[in-house]
Amino acid sequence: MSMILVTGARGQIGSDLVRTLRERHGAEAVIATDLREPEEQAETSGPYEVVDIRDRTKLDEVAQRYNVDTIYHLASLLSARGEQAPDLAWEVNVGGLRNVLEIARENGLKVFWPSSIAVFGPTTPDNAPQKTPLEPTTMYGVTKVSGELLCRYYHLRYGVDVRSLRYPGLISYGAEPGGGATDYAVEIFHAALEQGEYTCFLAADTRLPMMYMPDAVRATTELMDAPKELLSVRTSYNVTALSFSAEELSASIAKRVEGFVTRYKPDFRQDIAASWPSSVDDSAARADWNWEPAYTLDGMVDDMLVHLREKLNVSASSCPVSRIP
């Protein structure tokens, strides 16, 4: 039986990925870990350990105690938080990945680690190719480029089977997003249902590559299931599904939520978003392991509204406001 450890398990992706992995492999086979204590019942539906990714000794001890053979390493600071705390972003994002790769090298583990469209910068063409200048202008982007090179190095030098995707901005109705420039695309749904209006921190015409969480989780498991002979990219694969501007997303929601209005008041996250391309060429992922997204913009908006209405009625939770001022 495969034993899987997930870092950053309480985050936006981790909370959904842990649920999927537990459905596939059994609850006891997936060890959720995070810096934070467990809170939701979903997170305690199987083993849970508090681990700071900067603490290699503790991470190694937990991995050995559970006989782990695969790590999904999600613990990270995202783009906006990274600009507010660049030293911490470097320590967590690069130091944490190095710890995971060292443990993988010593124990022959397989690793998934996500990169991001944040590896791109102003010198990248607007439909970002797989191979292109990687000159990001954020600390988060710098940590992701460094991480991609570290992954490729550990694969070439030590044969570590580490696989990676450059996720675009992700949209989901589960855990709230963790402090990135694409968080608006989640906040806007909560605001539409709870306030009927939203003040967006990006400009109306800011167009970015995006993906609905079910597609992101499936891309992750499909990449990890792919035979290794098929993988030609050992830095990180471009993957994408959607490309829309803030005003296009707002219009799609307004078609379904009567009277919904968005105002635009860009803050420092606009500069981050403006440094990223508006779309991504994911033909290498399509050719190597048959990647294909399922959700269109309207399909994603329909599904988000159904699930969020259900969730907000049940929990009557307040609208999650961005953690970034």
If one asks whether residue 8 binds ligand NAD (CB under 6 A), the answer comes out as yes
Per-residue string for binding with ligand AKB, 295-314, x by CB under 6 A?
Answer: --------------------
Q: Whose CB is nearest to ligand AKB?
A: 180
Q: Is 73 helix (H, G, I), strand (E, B) or coil?
A: strand
Q: How far apart are the C-alpha atoms of 211 and 49, rounded to whole Å?
A: 29
Residue 184 bears catalytic tag? no
Residue from 33, 70, 99, 182 binding ligand AKB (CB under 6 A): 182
Nearer to ligand AKB, 122 or 159 (CB): 122
Token reading at 142: 């710098």
If one asks whether residue 53 binds ligand NAD (CB under 6 A), the answer comes out as yes
If one asks whether residue 182 binds ligand NAD (CB under 6 A), the answer comes out as yes
How many residues touch ligand AKB (CB under 6 A)? 10
Q: Token match 């993957």: residue?
A: 239
CB of 319: closest distance to ligand AKB in angstroms? 19
In whole angstroms, how far apart are CA 58 and each of 25, 131, 302?
24, 36, 43
Residue from 46, 136, 141, 169 binding ligand NAD (CB under 6 A): 169
- Contact (CB, 8 A) for 137 and 122: yes
Q: List, in sequence order, the alpha helices (H) in the chain.
A: 12-25, 56-65, 79-84, 86-90, 96-107, 139-158, 184-194, 213-225, 246-254, 268-274, 283-289, 297-315
Q: Which partner in ligand NAD, ligand AKB, none is near 14 (CB below 5 to 8 A by kind)?
A: ligand NAD
Residues of this chain that bind ligand NAD (CB under 6 A): 7-8, 10-14, 34-36, 52-54, 74-76, 78, 92, 114, 116, 167, 169-170, 177-178, 180, 182
